């Protein structure tokens, strides 16, 4: 059952709480061994979608399979092969690191439990501190422990809900290295994030807003699909220029990157007309460039302000 | 800096009001508990119980025996609830706790009375709860005398003036010395278990909810029955420890003999512990917070203490309060404990208390499984 090429294949997933529709007619296909990124503002339905996939929430409508099992009828089976890392640290703070791992291992009936836990502690680099209470760990370590816990039963699918929130950049980088190693081993990973530098590392990206998927594509193709144009300008007096360009016809958004501005818009001609008026100003260096993912996300987000209502 | 700011006091005060309004459960408790206490203390509790059920064996069937029976019923202390034909049946009724008294008028009572042979009537009182039966027991001689007053007229009037025409023999059964501890200690075990066992599991699931670990548990492939069994099993052992402590204290500190079978006793304790743990588990599925779960525990504990026959005689309560009491596990367990420890009741006698406890366990267990939410919906 678990040797399927499309690990998550759901259609029309819908979830509402009261009369508020949180996830609306959501389709999702995640190929085996890929890293699939969920990007979107707060309250856009990322967590709710993940929870529906792993059986924590029952969809109001929709159907499909996860690891070949029916997401509505067979969530018991799905749970045995899924590792779910919650947004908030949800291991037991009053248990030690080892006790937490052993508990999770028992829940999944892991064979050779003791060896597996020792192995996990080794990989984590926490063997020496295995008797420390989990509650005393720092944010970065808690996150690594949580990942180790949801990997203890060697799941086929990992669901990571904003795993790097509140974690320092070095730990984030290491975390993503681990993610890629796991993907190379054939584990499928669905990860939600706020960070664009993380989204860029995914094989596929879905942008979610208002509970709807606005776009999804392999990360290499996303930029082309959006059809955005960008000019880059370097130099001095950029603050004044930003104010002038914002709201100009053809300019959709102006974003600052260090000593440069990226000015983007959908209409290539109108954008050029808007920026060309400043070509003659001294101390400025203009170049047309292919927009990066950053510009694309800003573009997508501009249309969808934080939609937590 | 040292000035008291009324704006800040107001800020705290307003915040408390807003939060109180949001927490409906606490608000309901604040209003519900006094109302419940008013009803229970005001209407249900009766420390001078009347109309206690009595088993009557009248082997005489004479005018005189009928007069005595009429006097007994008129006294309002006792109601003739059963008319068993044999003493064995009567004994069984008193062991089961269905009657407080057995009243026996022997054969030829009327004949012996007329002959002036000073016949005896026998009154057996269940003295496990001395306060319940002492009133009736103490007035019995006077009741019999007044009952015969009218019959002993004319030719027999001389007899009425020469008391006592009838000898009332009083047997205080199970607790002849009328020691209060005999009644309290076995009942106390029911209250201890009800309080601690319910409380400890009531916080079991809500604690997971409050700490956010519930989401993790629900994502794991665990079935509700596995969860409940795992959650309550450790506390069964604690319940046994409590039982042993109470029994040891009962035997060696309070000198209350354990007359009946220890095996039966532990059978009853086992069911009762599990019932209370399941109630706690049910509460923790219903409540959102540990605070709410504890409030529910407290809300149930009040009637378990007041309406179960622990503090006040069960059969002395009004009928509606007895019905409420019958639905409480503590009531049945208390009967089992008093039956086994003091009366040496056997399995057959106790069946009438065992099966309600079993039914309560089934209902609570089923409800707990239904109400346990396997998802975050």
Residues B266 and B326 both lie in one domain: yes
Residues contacting residue A303 through CB under 8 Å, at least 6 positions apart: A209
B104 neighbors B122 (Cβ within 8 angstroms): yes
Nearest to A56 among B221, B223, B376 (CB): B376
Cα–Cα distances in Å, from B90 out to A157, A206, A279, B370, B371? Answer: 70, 80, 113, 43, 44
Pairing of the two strands A284-289 and A229-235: antiparallel
Nearest to A90 among B213, B221, B377 (CB): B213
B253 in any annotated domain: yes
Among B141, B173, B205, the domain boundary falls at: B173
Is A131 near chain B, with CB under 8 Å?
Answer: no
Residue A131: is it exposed, middle or buried by C-beta count within 10 angstroms (0-12/13-18/19+)?
A: exposed
B59 neighbors B104 (Cβ within 8 angstroms): yes
* Nearest chain A residue (CA) to B218: A56
> How many other C-beta atoms lie within 10 A of the C-beta of residue A263?
26
* Nearest chain B residue (CA) to A85: B216
B20 in any annotated domain: no
> How many other C-beta atoms lie within 10 A of the C-beta of residue B41?
12
In Å, the largest CA–CA distance within chain A is 72
A34 neighbors A297 (Cβ within 8 angstroms): no
The answer to whether the Cβ–Cβ distance between B219 and A86 falls below 8 Å is: yes
Is B222 near chain A, with CB under 8 Å?
Answer: yes
Q: Which of A54, A56, A86, A108 to mutate to test the interface with B (most CBs of B within 10 A)?
A: A56
Residues contacting residue A180 through CB under 8 Å, at least 6 positions apart: A35, A201
d(CA B210, nearest CA chain A) in Å: 11
Among B122, B139, B173, the domain boundary falls at: B173
d(CA B174, nearest CA chain A) in Å: 50
Nearest to B212 among A76, A77, A88 (CB): A88
B119 neighbors B112 (Cβ within 8 angstroms): yes
Q: What integer pLDDT is reported at residue B309 of this predicted model?
A: 87
Residues B127 and B71 both lie in one domain: yes
d(CA B218, nearest CA chain A) in Å: 7
In terms of residue numbers, what domain contains B144?
52-173
Residues B166 and B299 both lie in one domain: no
For chain A, percent helix, then strand, then coil, each to nearest 5?
35, 30, 35
Residues B233 and B371 both lie in one domain: yes
∠A5-A7-A9 over CA atoms, to 5°?
105
- Total number of domains constituting chain B: 2
Residues B91 and B226 both lie in one domain: no
Instruction: Look up residue A236 and give its two tokens.
Output: 């001095």
pLDDT in tens, A16-50: 998 889 999 999 999 999 999 998 888 889 999 99
A163 neighbors A202 (Cβ within 8 angstroms): no
> How many other C-beta atoms lie within 10 A of the C-beta of residue A283?
8
Any idea what the CATH number is for the domain that residue B147 is in? Answer: 3.40.1710.10
The Cα–Cα gap between A90 and B212 comes to 5
Q: What integer pLDDT is reported at residue A92 of this predicted model?
A: 96
B40 in any annotated domain: no
B153 in any annotated domain: yes
Residues B188 and B325 both lie in one domain: yes
Instruction: Look up residue B269 and give its two tokens.
Output: 């304790």
A237 neighbors A203 (Cβ within 8 angstroms): no
* Nearest chain B residue (CA) to A18: B377
Is A190 near chain B, with CB under 8 Å?
Answer: no
Q: Closest Cα partner for B67 from B128, B8, B129, B147? A: B147
The answer to whether the Cβ–Cβ distance between A104 and B375 falls below 8 Å is: no
Q: List chain B residues with CB under 8 Å of A53.
A: none
Residues B227 and B94 both lie in one domain: no
**Residues pairing with A16 in the sheet:** A21
Residue corresponding to tokens 């800003």: A298
Q: What integer pLDDT is reported at residue A95 of this predicted model?
A: 95
Average pLDDT over residues A294-309: 65
Residue A89: is it exposed, middle or buried by C-beta count within 10 angstroms (0-12/13-18/19+)?
A: buried
The answer to whether the Cβ–Cβ distance between B220 and A89 falls below 8 Å is: no
Q: What integer pLDDT is reported at residue A303 of this predicted model?
A: 64
The Cα–Cα gap between A195 and A104 comes to 29
Provide the CA A297 distance to its chain's centre, in angstroms.
13
The Cα–Cα gap between B264 and B353 comes to 12
The answer to whether the Cβ–Cβ distance between A58 and B375 falls below 8 Å is: yes
Among B173, B204, B239, the domain boundary falls at: B173
**Residue A69 pLDDT class (50, 70, 90 cuts):** very high
Q: List chain A residues with CB under 8 Å of B377.
A: 57-58
Q: Does the pLDDT value for residue A302 go beyond 90? A: no
Q: List chain A residues with CB under 8 Å of B218.
A: 56
The Cα–Cα gap between B230 and B221 comes to 14
Residues of chain B with pLDDT under 70: 1, 153-164
The Cα–Cα gap between A158 and B220 comes to 13
Residue B357: is it exposed, middle or buried by C-beta count within 10 angstroms (0-12/13-18/19+)?
A: buried
DSSP codes, A102-160:
HHHHHHTT-TTHHHHHHHHHHHHT-GGGTTSBGGGS-HHHHHHHHHHHHHTT--SEEEE
B44 in any annotated domain: no
The Cα–Cα gap between B57 and B149 comes to 22
Residue corresponding to tokens 């509970």: A211
The answer to whether the Cβ–Cβ distance between B377 and A58 falls below 8 Å is: yes
Q: Does the pLDDT value for residue A305 go beyond 90? A: no
Residue corresponding to tokens 């009243």: B103
Is A236 near chain B, with CB under 8 Å?
Answer: no
Q: List chain B residues with CB under 8 Å of A54.
A: 219
- Over its C-alpha atoms, chain A yields an Rg (Å, rounded) of 22
Is A57 near chain B, with CB under 8 Å?
Answer: yes
Q: What integer pLDDT is reported at residue B115 of this predicted model?
A: 83
B17 in any annotated domain: no
d(CA A155, nearest CA chain B) in Å: 12
d(CA A197, nearest CA chain B) in Å: 28
Residues B169 and B212 both lie in one domain: no
Residue corresponding to tokens 């378990």: B304
Instruction: Look up residue A16 and give its two tokens.
Output: 């509402």
Q: What integer pLDDT is reported at residue B311 of this predicted model?
A: 85
* Nearest chain A residue (CA) to B227: A107
Q: What integer pLDDT is reported at residue A114 of this predicted model?
A: 94
Residues B164 and B237 both lie in one domain: no
Residues B168 and B198 both lie in one domain: no
Q: Does the pLDDT value for residue A309 go beyond 50? A: no
Q: List chain B residues with CB under 8 Å of A55.
A: 219, 375
The answer to whether the Cβ–Cβ distance between B219 and A57 falls below 8 Å is: no
Q: Which of A49, A55, A142 to mutate to test the interface with B (most CBs of B within 10 A)?
A: A55
Q: Report helix, strand or coil for B273.
A: helix
The Cα–Cα gap between B232 and B193 comes to 13
Is A107 near chain B, with CB under 8 Å?
Answer: yes
Residue corresponding to tokens 């028992």: A106
B35 in any annotated domain: no
Residues B153 and B258 both lie in one domain: no
Residue corresponding to tokens 């519900």: B32
Is B218 near chain A, with CB under 8 Å?
Answer: yes
The answer to whether the Cβ–Cβ distance between A107 and B376 falls below 8 Å is: no
Residues B240 and B164 both lie in one domain: no
∠A53-A59-A61 over CA atoms, to 5°?
120
Kindly report the pTM of this predicted structure.
0.84
**Residue A306 pLDDT class (50, 70, 90 cuts):** very low
The answer to whether the Cβ–Cβ distance between A86 and B215 falls below 8 Å is: yes
Q: What integer pLDDT is reported at residue A1 of this predicted model?
A: 44
B24 in any annotated domain: no
Q: What integer pLDDT is reported at residue B219 of this predicted model?
A: 93
The Cα–Cα gap between B212 and B206 comes to 10
Q: Report helix, strand or coil for A216.
A: strand
d(CA B211, nearest CA chain A) in Å: 7
Phi and psi, residue A213, nearest 5°: -85, 115
DSSP A205: E
Pairing of the two strands B120-126 and B78-82: unpaired
* Nearest chain B residue (CA) to A153: B220
pLDDT in tens, B82-123: 999 898 899 888 888 889 899 999 988 888 888 888 888 898
């Amino acid at each position: 059952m678990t040797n399927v090429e499309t690990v998550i294949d759901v259609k029309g997933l819908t979830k509402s709480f009261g009369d508020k529709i949180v996830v609306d007619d959501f389709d999702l296909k995640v190929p085996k061994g890929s890293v699939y990124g969920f990007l979107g503002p707060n309250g856009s339905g990322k967590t709710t979608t993940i929870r529906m996939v792993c059986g924590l929430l029952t969809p109001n409508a929709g159907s499909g399979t996860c690891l070949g099992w029916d997401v509505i009828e067979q969530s018991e089976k799905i749970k045995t092969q899924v590792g779910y890392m919650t947004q908030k640290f949800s291991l037991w703070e009053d248990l030690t690191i080892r006790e937490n791992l052993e508990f999770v291992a028992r829940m999944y009936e892991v064979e050779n439990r003791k060896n597996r836990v020792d192995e996990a502690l080794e990989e984590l680099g926490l063997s020496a501190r295995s008797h420390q209470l989990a509650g005393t760990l720092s944010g970065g370590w808690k996150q690594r422990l949580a990942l180790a816990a949801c990997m203890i039963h060697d799941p086929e699918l990992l669901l990571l809900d904003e795993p790097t929130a509140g974690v320092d950049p070095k730990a984030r980088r290491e975390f993503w290295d681990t993610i890629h190693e796991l993907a190379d081993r054939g584990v499928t990973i669905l990860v939600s994030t706020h960070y664009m530098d993380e989204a860029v590392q995914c094989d596929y990206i879905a942008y979610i807003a208002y509970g709807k998927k606005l776009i999804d594509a392999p990360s290499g193709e996303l930029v082309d699909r959006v059809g955005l144009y960008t000019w880059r300008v370097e130099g001095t007096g950029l603050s004044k220029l930003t104010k002038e360009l914002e709201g100009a016809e053809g300019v959709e958004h102006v974003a600052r990157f260090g000593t440069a501005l990226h000015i983007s818009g959908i209409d290539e001609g109108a954008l050029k007309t808007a920026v060309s008026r400043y070509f003659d100003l001294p101390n400025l260096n203009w170049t047309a460039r292919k927009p990066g993912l950053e510009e694309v996300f800003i573009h997508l987000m501009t249309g969808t302000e934080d939609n937590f209502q | 800096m040292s000035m008291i700011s009324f704006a800040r006091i107001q800020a705290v005060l307003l915040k408390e009001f807003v939060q109180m309004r949001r927490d409906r459960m606490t608000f309901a408790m604040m209003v519900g508990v006094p109302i419940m206490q008013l009803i229970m203390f005001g209407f249900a509790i009766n420390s001078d119980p009347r109309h206690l059920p009595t088993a009557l064996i009248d082997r005489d069937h004479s005018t005189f025996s009928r007069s005595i029976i009429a006097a007994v019923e008129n006294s309002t202390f006792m109601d003739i609830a059963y008319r068993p034909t044999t003493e064995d049946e009567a004994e069984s009724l008193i062991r089961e706790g269905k009657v407080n008294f057995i009243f026996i008028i022997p054969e030829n009572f009327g004949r012996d009375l007329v002959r002036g042979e000073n016949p005896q009537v026998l009154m057996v009182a269940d003295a496990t709860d001395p306060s319940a039966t002492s009133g009736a027991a103490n007035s019995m001689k006077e009741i019999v005398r007044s009952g015969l007053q009218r019959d002993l007229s004319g030719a027999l009037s001389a007899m009425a003036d020469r008391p006592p025409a009838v000898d009332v023999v009083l047997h205080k059964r199970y607790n002849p010395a009328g020691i209060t501890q005999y009644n309290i200690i076995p009942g106390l075990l029911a209250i201890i278990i009800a309080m601690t066992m319910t409380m400890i599991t009531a916080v079991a699931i809500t604690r997971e909810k409050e700490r956010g670990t519930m989401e993790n548990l629900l994502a794991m492939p665990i079935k509700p029955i596995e969860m409940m069994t795992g959650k309550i099993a450790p506390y069964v052992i604690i319940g046994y420890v409590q039982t042993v402590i109470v029994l040891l204290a009962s035997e060696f500190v309070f000198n209350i003999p354990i007359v009946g079978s220890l095996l039966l006793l532990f059978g009853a304790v086992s069911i009762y512990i599990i019932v209370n743990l399941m109630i706690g588990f049910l509460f923790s599925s219903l409540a959102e917070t540990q605070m709410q779960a504890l409030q529910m525990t407290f809300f149930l504990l009040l009637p378990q203490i007041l309406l179960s026959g622990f503090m006040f005689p069960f059969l002395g309560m009004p009928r509606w309060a007895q019905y409420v009491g019958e639905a409480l596990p503590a009531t049945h367990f208390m009967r089992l404990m008093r039956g086994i420890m003091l009366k040496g009741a056997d399995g057959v006698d106790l069946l009438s208390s065992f099966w309600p406890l079993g039914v309560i366990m089934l209902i609570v267990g089923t409800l707990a499984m239904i109400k346990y939410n396997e998802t975050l919906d």
